Amino acid sequence: MKITIRLIVSLTLVVALVAVGSSFHQVRKERLRLAADMERRVVLLAESLRESVVPLVRSDSREKLDRLVERFGNRERLQGIAIFGRQADVIASTAELKNRIPRSLPQVVNSLEEGRPASAFKQIEGKRIYIFAFPLVQEGETIGVLALFDDASYIDVRLKEIWEYNLLRFLILTLLVVVITVLVVRWSITGPIAQIAAWARDLRMGRGKPMKPSPRQDMLGPLISEVSHLAKSLESARVEAEEEAKLRLHAESLWTAGRLKEHMRAELGGGKLFLVSNREPYMHTKDGRNIRCVVPAGGLVTALDPVMRVCDGLWIAHGSGDADREMTGEGDKLRVPPEEPAYTLKRVWLTKEEEDGYYYGFSNEGLWPLCHITHTRPTFRLEDWSQYQLVNEKFAQSLLAEIAGEESPLVLVQDYHFALLPLLVKKERPDAKVALFWHIPWPNPEAYGICPWHQEILMGMLGADIIGFHIQFHCNNFLESVDRFLESKINWEQFSVTRGDHATSIRPFPISVSLDLSPSVADSPGKEASRDKLLKEHGVQAEFLAVGVDRIDYTKGIPERFRAIERFLEKYPEFLERFVFVELGAPSRTHVKRYRDLQSEIEEMVEKINWRFQTKKWKPILFLKAHHSHETIAPFYKAADVCLVTSLHDGMNLVAKEYVAARADEDGVLILSQFTGASRELKDALIVNPYDIEEMAEAIAASLKMEPAERSDRMKRMRATIKEHNIYRWAGNLVTELARLRLPPA
């Protein structure tokens, strides 16, 4: 209300000021105009009378003069005429003036003395009279004065009218200002604010999912978006607190974002967490004239972004987006995520040569197929190895510059792109606590040993204080490789390797996702509503929906999956026109020939299978090849009756866990390859051998025929596993172990 009153008072004052000012001006102009008009009229009359009056005054013909003045004295507004002699004495006047003329009139005296007209306004008997004295001159001598008395009160009347009219105008204007101000304030400010307040209150009280007010016009849009963020944070905090409370009752302890935050604060003691990876969590790319911020596909980013959001650390990664430089600030840094900055990203720039040799070459044509047993032969080139060494050195320098002022900094190095980095860092900073987490499998010593630089890689990795893999089996493979190729002391009980005076622990840390989903996932519509909508958008209809979400990579078993779908339709024709499989495939590493070939192979297969089975309104496979955001993928997860994860070999595979995390409705079936790390934890999935096409076809049929109660039981158990073994536990365990390490004195 206060703001309305303030607005009304200010606007009224302004209107009043303008009204008074303009009225004054108008009245002044009108007064001058009317006075000039009156004067002109009186002068004309006086001049026309003069000819007749002068001879009569000269001859002192008073009677004639009386008649003359009587004849002219009653003209429009004229109150009377008087003629004065040389002594300023009245010698003739109209009847109304008799006895009313003041004794001495200065205008008459002045006119007599100076021989010039004189005029003035005078109040006579309560009336404003204009007196005009005109000298009667004959042969250069003033022989008398002709005085005209005109009624000037009409000027005051007219001016009063103007004031009254303007006052009325002012009052109407003020009324309009009040009404419009009240309406505008209510529509645009107080109304929406009241709506937002009610919405925020409902959110605060946890009353379901109240309708978000529409950001009517632009003005309150930013406020609504800020409150939205706030509300979401509040909501997650509440959910987390409820979870914690429930678990406290059961004497358990669940890792949550909040708990990890507190834990990090305690473990880091005010220090920062430093993370190094090849892939950046936010990539800026050009989209016509605009710049888009993209979250790259892949498990590493999915897993680590929530951790960094909680820790507010520094993430160093390759700036690979074509608009990255434009969006990066001082020191090659920027705060991310863009919509709710929580930590710092430092971008390292690579030349084309470096990227070709280190990333495409040694990492993805060498180490990737070396570690994944998928029968794709690794390629090792000396030139790629040189670039790999140089880029590891480059990232090490970038990290060393950042940790220069930190005492015993905690560093998390990610993945096979940086096998050499731990040793490079530790050489310079033995006090740094370094963990290397290897996101992909580790092969057996025979397979590993074909890499020409197998010793250098092991030595580089063993610079770390902790090396983490997803599962124990990969830890075992790694230790066996060290045993086979390096001189060192291996403690099989402690799972550690000692070389010189430096020890490295080898531990399984199964990575995961967070069950409290991102708002985009949580807010997307449920199963029935979205299935029809999603399929309709692509011009198909079906009763059952299955989904696959992958980077297009030969380790993911995508052709095997399609073969299984084909076989399933052959064996179970009753599902023709009732079942659709949607593959959300993100193109990946397309500069590598093997990946380009795979894309063509997949496209041909989809074409062939669809051609074989499709009808007018239906086809069995939709291959949506694009970079899909979490917001696009979420509705598919929520609508799919089945999710197929058929990797031929996979360190963990977070798609499997994301699918389970998205199924808050406790429905849906997961078909999961036995060669993923995830299959060790998600035992209620239908576990399959992706090379066994018959088995996979049967699993698809079983998933579609499964009783709802069984589906729900399995999903509940898988969700319970992920709830407990979530990404916060992963980070908490890894950081705790790292922070509590006792390093030998330097």
Q: How far is the CB of 418 from ligand F6P (least distance, A)?
A: 10
Q: Does residue 551 touch ligand F6P according to CB under 6 A? A: yes
Selected binder of ligand F6P within 81, 83, 146, 300 (CB under 6 A): 300
Please, which residue, 215 or 298, has the CB nearer to ligand F6P? Answer: 298
Please, which residue, 294 or 490, has the CB nearer to ligand F6P? Answer: 294
Selected binder of ligand F6P within 272, 507, 589, 723 (CB under 6 A): 589
- In total, the chain counts a number of residues equal to 746
Of residues 431-490, those binding ligand F6P (CB under 6 A): 439-440
Say how far apart CA 707 and CA 712 lie, in whole Å.
Answer: 9
Q: How far is the CB of 680 from ligand F6P (least distance, A)?
A: 16
Selected binder of ligand F6P within 298, 337, 519, 587 (CB under 6 A): 298
Binding residues for ligand F6P, rule CB under 6 A, total 12
Residue 9 neighbours by CB distance under 10 Å: 11
Q: How far is the CB of 416 from ligand F6P (least distance, A)?
A: 7
Give the angle 311-314-319 at the CA atoms, nearest 5°: 135
**Per-residue H/E/C for 612-625:** HHCCCCCCCEEEEE
Q: Which stretch binds ligand F6P (CB under 6 A): 292-300, 566-574, 697-705, 712-720?
A: 292-300
CA atoms within 13 A on the CB side of 378: 23
Please, which residue, 414 or 496, has the CB nearer to ligand F6P? Answer: 414
Q: Does residue 588 touch ligand F6P according to CB under 6 A? A: yes
Say how far apart CA 689 and CA 673 lie, in whole Å.
Answer: 6
Give which of 17, 15, 76, 34 is closest to 162, Cα–Cα. Answer: 34
Edge-to-edge strand list for the sheet holding 489-491? 333-336, 343-348, 314-318, 273-276, 410-414, 433-437, 466-469, 502-508, 496-499, 489-491
Edge-to-edge strand list for the sheet holding 141-151? 90-93, 78-84, 141-151, 127-138, 118-124
Say how far apart CA 611 and CA 263 lie, in whole Å.
Answer: 56
Please, which residue, 439 or 567, has the CB nearer to ligand F6P? Answer: 439
What mask of x and - would describe binding to ligand F6P in positions 255 to 284, judged by CB under 6 A? -----------------------xx-----
Q: How far is the CB of 440 from ligand F6P (least distance, A)?
A: 5
Q: Does residue 512 touch ligand F6P according to CB under 6 A? A: no
Residue 514 neighbours by CB distance under 10 Å: 24
Q: Which stretch binds ligand F6P (CB under 6 A): 172-180, 194-202, 295-303, 559-567?
A: 295-303
Say how far apart CA 142 and CA 6 lie, in whole Å.
Answer: 68
Q: How far is the CB of 687 from ligand F6P (least distance, A)?
A: 21
Edge-to-edge strand list for the sheet holding 669-673? 621-625, 579-586, 544-551, 642-645, 669-673, 686-688
Query: What secondary structure letter does DSSP report for 457?
Result: H
Amino acid sitting at position 720? A
Say how far apart CA 458 and CA 222 lie, in whole Å.
Answer: 52
Of residues 382-421, those binding ligand F6P (CB under 6 A): 415
Say how far apart CA 332 and CA 559 lie, in whole Å.
Answer: 41
Q: How far is the CB of 587 from ligand F6P (least distance, A)?
A: 10
Give which of 650, 473, 623 is closest to 548, Cα–Cα. Answer: 623
Please, which residue, 144 or 281, has the CB nearer to ligand F6P? Answer: 281
Q: How far is the CB of 276 from ligand F6P (least distance, A)?
A: 12
- Nearest residue to ligand F6P by CB is 298
Query: Phi, psi (5° rounding) for residue 355?
Result: -65, -40
Please, which residue, 42 or 513, has the CB nearer to ligand F6P? Answer: 513
Q: Does residue 299 touch ligand F6P according to CB under 6 A? A: yes
Say how far apart CA 530 and CA 662 lie, in whole Å.
Answer: 14
Q: Does residue 556 touch ligand F6P according to CB under 6 A? A: no
Please, which residue, 7 or 552, has the CB nearer to ligand F6P? Answer: 552
Please, which residue, 181 or 302, has the CB nearer to ligand F6P? Answer: 302
Q: Which stretch binds ligand F6P (CB under 6 A): 155-163, 294-302, 424-432, 457-465?
A: 294-302
Q: How far is the CB of 476 from ligand F6P (least distance, A)?
A: 20
Q: How far is the CB of 479 from ligand F6P (least distance, A)?
A: 21
Q: How far is the CB of 556 from ligand F6P (least distance, A)?
A: 11
Q: Which stretch binds ligand F6P (CB under 6 A): 261-269, 298-306, 344-352, 493-501?
A: 298-306
Say how far apart CA 236 and CA 260 lie, in whole Å.
Answer: 14
Q: Does residue 324 touch ligand F6P according to CB under 6 A? A: no
Q: Which residues bind ligand F6P (CB under 6 A)?
A: 278-279, 298-301, 415, 439-440, 551, 588-589
